[in-house]
Structure 1
């Protein structure tokens, strides 16, 4: 469970989250929507323990994501909109993911192939130098291989071509595990068959929260 209770977050004089209260339960598959500056990214970074709230409480499965961040992140898979500047090659990146998250390399390779990432010829290539689409496919493959209790995707298909998007949605539809799924998206038309809850934010508040 993700519990956000009366959380406010300011950056200087800018209020990014305004007394926000939100609870996500197991089996919630959420489309999180809203314009730029609505507070969506701030909310995600609070969940991941990147930011301290100015007021309020954030709990992930009952744990404080700042004080107990290592334990919290063990149960979360996160794919950002912009892939990080990782300098490891693909083989090294997979080895790091396996050691840090106890996932099997074969599972990562399986999902990479399902995403039609041609992984073998690129094992020694730097992740940093890959195309945006290849980076996103690799991060998605790692996230799916981890089988986390919580998965968070920030505009995950932004760098994917239509076929890769179809593969991504197919893999998500086939994933029947009980979990929390949170998608920051502007592509609600593509997500409708996946999500069972739509949350719309603006000016740091939840304006609508609907079951679908």
Structure 2
């Protein structure tokens, strides 16, 4: 990307996100934005952990009923304070839902907090992306990640088909491995379902064994 002059607000924003090769050539870095500086298309302020992030109100409203109200509900000139959310997780979330300049992928490292925030802000398209990712990767998740993702899903969308897949995977674990899990972090009905699935697996195995005998 070659820019000759940097005069407008948009140009100043671009300058913050570019590196200079010479006096006349500026090349945009391929990196994720930090949303710390407002620009003409990202001018809606949200406050997380007493730090400002600037987002595109139209894009956020397209994704979220929460931001429809926040950005266009009559108080759009006031910043929105997001409570009970870590700044680092909110920043990562924005990178996963915004092309800045490229959209960050959903990964095993971030899917849990992206899912929680998608649920908090009622972002159904983002929640669907998370569930699709979990459905693809559930068979390969290690014990720690499996439990972490199941906890997040149990609070966000406990009735989804993806939740059933996660419960079934937990039920397939050994008894001593299950006993090490911090099930107090998970709703009681989900824990009960895990052990119900495990008992059913055990019963089915016994029936097969009896048939063989």
TM-score category (smaller protein) = under 0.3
Please, what TM-score do these two structures have when normalized by structure 2?
Answer: 0.28
The structure in which a higher percent of residues are strand is 1
Structure number with higher relative contact order (C-alpha < 8 Å, ≥ 6 residues apart): 1
Larger Rg: 2
